[in-house]
Structure 1
């Protein structure tokens, strides 16, 4: 049985940074939904992102296909995406048949998140693959809720709880 460590949270909450760090420490793959989408549109100079467009849906399907293959092979995997409950829960729940699931929910105050979003738009040309222009202050976000071990992490300034505790949780499902 594989282990799926879901790293979730609203845009700008630091989830991609944490997911890559966790995967590095754990010695397992990090599967990042945004990076899959970036690969899908990388060669398309004409691509203009919109929420829920065909490429977004293609990336979502590829994301869950890759997760399923790795988890059914018995791998530990760190998976990162926003994971809003209504969108993601129906796709995550069936994975409990072949994976132990743990959820890490990242968050930071809205001003911190908005500052991070603005900074990455300037610094990362690959962000053109995403509809970041639709991200606004006060946009509702409903964290994923499942009956599995869940850890809330404040990413405002580093990690609270500390990175070592997050790694331990990812390995064991316990704090």
Structure 2
């Protein structure tokens, strides 16, 4: 039996991670486990929740995210895992999973103005985004307090591909799938 693959889709906010993760999961026939979607489900079950940096719900989300991924990998399931995956926060959760399957890292990149427009659009169009601190992120980006350039990508010893999502996918989806399946 071959080992499952853990496809790690990462990138800064607004870089198209979730959209790409779901497209990959559909193409591969496997689940996409998205950190933000887990948090949205927890927020739904927590009336009155207000997001803030490091809040208890965010901490529980992180633990649950890695537990679910580990459970699936141990069962032999290939998984697409999507989150920002900034190195210092996420590498400690990913490293223990390395022995459970083959890891492929996909780093989403995007033009900063496109990312900011995507963040603004999802705040307007998706009520579930209230579980996240997108309004503060937009304010910080607009004021220059924060920059998408501050994103520190995950640094694991695993094959990595950079995908520009500014206008479609470059490289294209079939090429990304070839990268994932190359053993």
Same fold judged by TM-score > 0.5? Answer: yes
Q: Secondary structure at the match of 2:129?
A: helix
Q: TM-score, normalised by structure 2?
A: 0.91
Q: After TM superposition, which residue ranges in structure 1, 4 or more long, deviate above 6 angstroms?
A: none
State the partner residue of 1:160. 170
Is there any run of 5+ residues in structure 1 with no aligned partner, and where?
Answer: none
The answer to whether the 8 Å contact 2:25/2:80 transfers is yes
Quote how far apart the aligned CAs of 1:52 are. 1.3
Looking at structure 1, the residues matched to 4 and 70 of structure 2 have their Cα atoms a distance apart, in angstroms, of: 9
Quote how far apart the aligned CAs of 1:134 are. 2.7
Looking at structure 1, the residues matched to 79 and 163 of structure 2 have their Cα atoms a distance apart, in angstroms, of: 19
State the partner residue of 1:108. 110
State the partner residue of 2:90. 88
Two-structure CA RMSD over aligned residues (Å): 1.1
Aligned residue among 110, 118, 121 for 1:119: 121
State the partner residue of 1:10. 12
Q: TM-score, normalised by structure 1?
A: 0.95
* Structural mapping, 1:26-175, within 5 Å: 26-135=28-137, 136-137=140-141, 138-139=147-148, 140-172=150-182
Is there any run of 5+ residues in structure 2 with no aligned partner, and where?
Answer: 142-146
Q: Secondary structure at the match of 2:114?
A: helix
Quote how far apart the aligned CAs of 1:32 are. 0.4
Quote how far apart the aligned CAs of 1:98 are. 1.2
User: How many residues in Structure 1 have an aligned counterpart in Structure 2?
Assistant: 173
Quote how far apart the aligned CAs of 1:33 are. 0.4
Looking at structure 2, the residues matched to 70 and 161 of structure 1 have their Cα atoms a distance apart, in angstroms, of: 28
1:57-90, Cα deviation, whole Å (9 max, x unpaired): 1111111000000001111000000000111111
The answer to whether the 8 Å contact 2:5/2:101 transfers is yes
The answer to whether the 8 Å contact 2:123/2:135 transfers is no
